[in-house]
Amino acid sequence: MNSFERPITPGFLLRFTLPGMLMMLFNSFYTMVDGGFVSNYVGTDALSAINIVFPLINFVLAVGIMLATGGSAVTARQMGEKEPELARQSFSLLTVFTAGLGIVIAVLSIVFADPIVWALGSTDVLYEYCRDYLVFMSLFTPCCMLQILFQFFFTTAGRPNLGLAATLLGGVANMVLDYVLIVPLHMGIRGAAIATGIGQTIPTVIGLVYFFSRRNDLLYYVRPVLRGWVLGRACLNGSSEMVSNLAVAVTTFLFNIMMLSYLGEDGVAAITIVFYAQFFFTAIFFGYTSGVAPLISFHFGAQNHDRLKKLVRLSLLFVAVCSLLAYGLSVVLSQTVVGIFAQRGTAVFSIASDGMELFAIGFLFMGFNIFASGLFTALSNGIVSAVLSFLRTFVFLVAAIELLPKLWGVSGVWLAIPAAELLALVVSLACILRYRKRYQYL
């Protein structure tokens, strides 16, 4: 009996999704370590530069996540429909397409590095840091996108533990290289970019070796067949995740501009720290959703409605409990987290600590919205998923960023995400209830 056919119990669900959650948590952790080394050994201006460049990095992540989530939904459904060879051909095509697209993006990013940096809002103080980080991160763009693809397809292939092991190995290498390249070798922000890139390359190589070796009977590489509808469905199904990440890129840019206008480079450094904390506290939701999505897609494709209902109900309960824990921990540990990046008594520490208390309210709602979007992606309803993501991460958030600071100044900047998440929660719940009969998940 393969993993997809096992009875749906809380224990099985936690065991199946735990590798994905740990993988996301570890990704968040070593991203924070990256920021910690940069902030403490290069300076908070360098940390601000990373956030200035982050919208472009987020664009790369957006494309990679779109192909990974949408593609895994397509192949998992094909597997559930008893079309294993078609699923393998689709997976092989998606890998080739992702690698090729990554090379194109890398070349364009390096060639147009200067205009991109200025367009993202760099100041004269931050310019050199921004350009160095962008160029050296761009060198690893294909590996960045492929490692995201493999994170999802390890789960689809029934090997989530291998995905976790690959991510852990890449993360440890990243952290070790952060120290070596930044501290004794004095490579500064370039060292941070190279360490991150090598950390992404390791799971990419592991994924290529594994899927070429045909060690499992579910997914492995075959000769890819160019089918436009496979790429189209993958892009459509994963469009919500792409929209979400593209919107994050836009809103990060707006947050940076807003903080520069209110508090200068210290404000950008402070909001960068809070965003790092957000990555860590919400990683559990992204990890769980990515882990459970193949199960939802499989049982939807196989028309196992009873199992689908149990999956969704247990997932909603899990998200509710974790939302309360995320909020509580973010409040209790806020100064500890901020202290990793900024020394106590500094302006950056004070700004980030005050902001975290307001920002943390959003953790009560984020999990439900992340799961709702992932649910409709797994059900191959990319349109609803995209609408939910677009409203949550762009429409509501941009409106909040523009309106709330006019009412409450800097406090309004911190409250923008909680306000947007609350509005998105209302829409997410409405969609879950509206489509419950069509998909029979409740």
Q: What is the DSSP string of 257-296?
A: HHHHHHHHHHHHHHHHHHHHHHHHHHHHHHHHHHHHHHHH
Residue 206 confidence (pLDDT) above 90: yes
Ranking 19-23, 331-335, 350-354, 430-434 by mean pLDDT, the lowest is 19-23
Residue 234 confidence (pLDDT) above 90: no
Burial class (CB in 10 A: 0-12, 13-18, 19+), 306: exposed
Residue 215 confidence (pLDDT) above 70: no
What is the percent of the chain where pLDDT is above 90? 48
Identity at 406, one-letter amino acid code: K
Residue 1 confidence (pLDDT) above 60: no
Mean of pLDDT over the chain:
89
Q: What is the pLDDT of residue 304?
A: 87
Rounded to 5 degrees, what angle do the CA atoms 60, 25, 359 make?
80
Tell me the average pLDDT across 162-189.
Answer: 91
Q: Tens digit of pLDDT for each residue in 246-282?
A: 777 888 889 999 998 899 889 999 998 898 878 877 8
Tell me the average pLDDT across 395-408.
Answer: 93
**Cβ–Cβ contacts within 10 Å for residue 305, how many?**
13
Q: What is the pLDDT of residue 404?
A: 95
Q: Assign 164 a pLDDT band (cuts: 50, 70, 90).
A: confident
Q: Tens digit of pLDDT for each residue in 85-96?
A: 888 888 889 999
Tell me the average pLDDT across 132-144.
Answer: 96
Residue 160 confidence (pLDDT) above 80: no
Helix axes 410-434, 239-301, angle to 10 degrees: 30
Burial class (CB in 10 A: 0-12, 13-18, 19+), 161: middle
Q: What is the pLDDT of residue 25?
A: 83
Tell me the average pLDDT across 396-425.
Answer: 94
Q: Assign 72 a pLDDT band (cuts: 50, 70, 90).
A: confident
Residue 189 confidence (pLDDT) above 60: yes
Query: Cα–Cα distance between 318 and 323 in angstroms, integer?
Result: 9
Tell me the average pLDDT across 39-54.
Answer: 91
Tell me the average pLDDT across 211-224.
Answer: 77
- Comparing CA positions, the residue from 108, 22, 111, 14 lying closest to residue 59 is 108
Residue 389 confidence (pLDDT) above 80: yes
Q: What is the pLDDT of residue 217?
A: 67
Tell me the average pLDDT across 31-41.
Answer: 86
**pTM of this structure:** 0.76
Q: What is the pLDDT of residue 216?
A: 62
